[in-house]
Amino acid sequence: MDVILIGPPGAGKGTQARWLVEALRAPQISTGDMLRAARKAGTELGRKADTFMNAGKLVPDEVVVGLVAERLHAPDCAGGFLLDGFPRTIPQAQALDAELARHGRKVQSVVAIEVPDEAIVRRLSGRRTCGTCNRIWHLEFDPPPSPATCSCGGALVHRDDDKEATIRNRLKVYHDQTSPLAEYYERQGVLRRVAGDGKPEEVRGRIFKELGLR
Ligand code: AMP
């Protein structure tokens, strides 16, 4: 079974993806992870992606499409895959359709995790990262011993990624470029909308029910 996960930043796609790959016994293809790995390895692709990622912008379609097209042909994807963070634009979705069609396949299930903007801002802007041990806390949902200090004694940092202005910018990019995908897949009859509020386990239950998984 092939599953595509879409949703705004902070919707919990990464967490749900981990549960889904276990249930589907299929590999997870996350363009965000692939781009971060390329950036860390200092490859040409990583350098190309770096400026866009730092600015909270989308990496150009042709870069990401090339990356995914190659990955989809790996033997471990023959029985299915879980796409997380791709497609993010209509041209990417069209490229994916074309790529799958070349192999006699098509998109089967698209799960859209829906979370209101204000909830996203609340979720992400409360995050604090320990500069020493890298543990991530949340001021409201998983509070550290004190707002500025980790349990290891390290100082907590409010990363630029987690600041309200950056989050609102990423949400704008999402609404402008990614949310039209819901309609695109609705027209293909493969879209399943799932409410993303509540605990991660509750969201998981809704997704699994939609997909007929246990
Ligand atoms: P993510 O971890 O999925 O939020 O991705 C982190 C960053 O990588 C995004 O803000 C984009 O700059 C870039 N990125 C990841 N996936 C894509 C994609 N499908 N298209 C364009 N840019 C992407």
**CATH code (residue 159):** 3.40.50.300
84 C-alpha to ligand 1 centroid (Å): 10
The residue segments making up the domain with residue 140 are 2-26+79-211
Residue owning the nearest CA to atom 15 of ligand 1:
32
30 C-alpha to ligand 1 centroid (Å): 9
193 pLDDT above the threshold of 90: yes
Bridge partners for 2 per DSSP: none
14 C-alpha to ligand 1 centroid (Å): 12
131 pLDDT above the threshold of 90: yes
Q: Is residue 55 part of a domain?
A: no
Q: Is residue 194 part of a domain?
A: yes
199 included as an active-site residue:
no
CA pseudo-torsion sign 63, 66, 67, 69: positive
* Averaged confidence pLDDT in the chain: 94
Residues with Cβ within 8 Å of residue 203, at least 6 apart in sequence? 12, 16, 113, 194, 195, 196, 197
**What value does the mean pLDDT take over residues 39-55?**
92
| Choice between 103 and 84, residue whose per-residue pLDDT is larger | 84
**Number of structural domains found in the chain:** 1
The helix-helix angle for 164-173 and 117-125 (nearest 10°) equals 140
149: tokens are: 């200090």
Q: Is residue 153 part of a domain?
A: yes
Residue 214's pLDDT band (cuts 50, 70, 90): confident
**What value does the mean pLDDT take over residues 59-86?**
92
88 included as an active-site residue:
yes
Q: Is residue 136 part of a domain?
A: yes
Q: Is residue 191 part of a domain?
A: yes
Task: Say if CB 152 and CB 136 are below 8 A apart.
Answer: no
Burial of 85 (0-12, 13-18, 19+ CB in 10 A): buried
116 C-alpha to ligand 1 centroid (Å): 20
pLDDT at 54: 85
pLDDT at 161: 82
Q: Is residue 45 part of a domain?
A: no
Q: Is residue 183 part of a domain?
A: yes
User: What do you get for the CA distance between the two ends of the chain, in Å?
Assistant: 14
Q: Is residue 67 part of a domain?
A: no
Burial of 36 (0-12, 13-18, 19+ CB in 10 A): middle
Q: Does the C-beta of 45 come closer than 6 Å to ligand 1?
A: no
User: 8-24 pLDDT, tens per residue?
Assistant: 999 999 899 999 999 99
Task: Fill in the amino acid letter for 120.
Answer: I
Q: Does the C-beta of 14 come closer than 6 Å to ligand 1?
A: no
**Dist CA 173 CA 115 (whole Å):** 15
Among candidate residues 106, 159, 199, 209, the one labeled active-site is 159
**Dist CA 22 CA 18 (whole Å):** 7
- What percentage of the chain carries pLDDT values higher than 90? 90
pLDDT at 78: 87
pTM recorded for the entire structure: 0.90
The atom of ligand 1 lying closest to the CA of 53 is 12
